[in-house]
Amino acid sequence: MKTHMVVWVSLIALAALANEPYGPVPTPRQLAWQEMEFIGFLHFTVNTFTDKEWGYGDESPEIFHPTDFNADQIVRTLKEAGMKQVILTCKHHDGFCLWPSKYTEHSVKNSPWKNGKGDVVREISDACRRHGLKFGVYLSPWDRNHKDYGTPAYLTYYRNQLRELLTQYGPVHEVWFDGANGGDGYYGGAREKRKIDNRTYYDWPNTIRMVRELQPDACIFSDAGPDIRWVGNERGIAGETCWGTLNRDDFVPGNADSKRLNTGDRPGTHWVPAECDVSIRPGWFYHAKEDDKVRSPENLLNLYFASVGRGAVLLLNVPPDRRGLIHENDVKSLQGFRRLLDVTFTTNLAAVAKVTNTSPTERILVFDRPVTFNVVRIREDLRWGQRVEAFALDQWKDGQWAQFAGGTSIGHCRLTRGATITTDKVRLRITQTPVPPVISEVSLFRCPVEPQN
């Protein structure tokens, strides 16, 4: 979607603070991740064929048999919806591997799909490159199949598999570490419950070091980052206040304070922005009984405003069905969602405005004739840190200013959506900031649908 921007950057502030970013700032890889805004998740494994959400680990590889697997249909569907990256569940908690790992027999190589010669990771990663999307991998730390889970030997196994994924499938731009770990499982036939100390067992510093070595451009996701944090829920909703910073040392994967993750910490010691994971269906894996429960385009738009519109990235799960395709109902909903995005954001009504700068914390957009809008988009230049702590938006009405919206954090993107307004002047006031703000965009749009509760 191409839009013009009304750019507001305080040149005086930039000159004075050119070498003084405020607080933690994002790395280049974090900025690149943030700019994607909308990315896709693919949950696909033996659970697709057992009608379960979590496999026990004793599922036979022979049940994995998609009848019409088409990586291009899957990736093309996500791209046409506007997604910029695809993350694949290469191994979920059941331990079944979607690639022919040489470290286990519990994989596609012992399935009837393509006579054991198939490789889902290869096909999806190649399709991403063909269609211009980035590729990410999900590798569950918890493995309910492996006999050594809970012992030091399993860490060697886990890192060997991670190394396969990071060295055999081209560029990887996100590595996703799930916080679910420890519990009952098959464990090589033991069929027992195993507990681990999630603070120490996985030895995350060494695993993170390996990712940095093998894929330096990859952002690492977990409850505790280091690059991206969980938003604290699986509903796809960021906090109304959502800081990009976090006191990261307070958190460990699998043992998180959901409320703090939802809002972040201000001030925070590290830059760890939020990712909002949510599924287009009630479940994460495909279930035929949910074919009539796919989220509507309007519901997806609401999620977009509650995630991207609060400075986070929206990670939408769209699970392939038993054929190995994105189901028709999901495709239809995604197409409708994309149409709503295009209708809303293609035309920036502020592109024709004249901008007056009355102070470092106040800007006014003046129009030759009244404009009608119901969405405002504001962005900060995060290279200088997240500065704004509160803002207000005013319209010129009946010869005076009248506030119509306001909020706290802005960050990469802040979207406000409300009643339709017609006016010839709009004012942005930064009402609380510790240092001069560096705002990179103020835009106006008109959304064709009303917000949903």
Predicted confidence (pLDDT) per residue in 200-253, tens digit: 999 999 999 999 999 999 999 999 899 999 999 999 999 999 999 999 999 887
> Does the pLDDT value for residue 6 go beyond 50?
no
As a whole-number percent, the residues of the chain with pLDDT over 70 amount to: 96
Q: What are phi and psi of 48, to 5 degrees?
A: -60, -30
Alpha carbon distance 239, 256 (integer Å): 16
Q: What is the CATH number of domain 11-18+348-445?
A: 2.60.120.260
Q: Lowest mean pLDDT: which of 290-299, 320-329, 354-363, 399-408?
A: 354-363
User: Is pLDDT of 296 > 50?
Assistant: yes
Given this model, what pLDDT does residue 404 score?
98
pLDDT(7) > 50: no
Q: What is the pLDDT of residue 9?
A: 45
Write down the pLDDT at residue 255. 78
pLDDT, tens digit, 9 for 90 and up, residues 111-142: 999 999 999 999 999 999 999 999 999 999 99
Q: What gap in Å lies between CA 275 and CA 430, rounded to an integer? A: 26
Q: What are the residues whose beta carbons fall under 8 Å from the beta carbon of 82, sequence distance 6 or more?
A: 1, 38, 337, 338, 341
Model pLDDT, residue 385: 98
Residue 416 pLDDT exceeds 50: yes
State yes or no: pLDDT of 18 exceeds 70: no
Q: Are 388 and 381 in contact (CB under 8 A)?
A: no
- Per the prediction, the chain carries an average pLDDT of 95
Q: Using the predicted structure, report yes or no on whether residue 8 has a pLDDT greater than 80.
A: no
What is the domain partition of the chain in residue ranges? 11-18+348-445, 37-345
Q: Do domains 11-18+348-445 and 37-345 have the same CATH topology?
A: no
DSSP letter, residue 295: P
Architecture of domain 37-345: Alpha-Beta Barrel (3.20)
What is the distance between the alpha carbons of residues 97 and 165, in angstroms, rounded to a whole number?
A: 11
pLDDT of residue 153: 98
Tell me: pLDDT of 76 over 70. Answer: yes
Tokens 């067992």 sit on residue: 201
Mean pLDDT of 366-388: 98
Report d(CA 165, CA 159) in Å as an integer: 10
Beta-strand ranges (E) seen in 84-242 are 85-91, 134-139, 174-176, 183-185, 192-194, 219-222, 228-230
Average pLDDT score over residue span 99-110: 99
SS3 324: coil
- Is 240 in contact with 305 (CB distance < 8 Å)? no
Asked whether 145 and 57 are in contact (CB, 8 A), the reply is yes
Q: How confident is the model at residue 452 (pLDDT cuts 50, 70, 90)?
A: confident
Backbone conformation region of residue 158, classed left if phi is above 0, alpha if psi is from -120 to 50, else beta: alpha
pLDDT score, position 256 = 82
Q: How many CB atoms lie within 10 A of CB 76?
A: 17
Q: Quickly state the pLDDT bin for 180 (edges 50, 70, 90).
A: confident
* Interval 368-378 mean pLDDT: 98
Average pLDDT over residues 52-75: 98
Q: Render pLDDT for 300-322 as a digit per residue (tens, 0 to 9).
A: 999 999 999 999 999 999 999 99
pTM of the model: 0.95
pLDDT of 14 > 70? The answer is no
Over 50: is that where the pLDDT of 369 sits?
yes
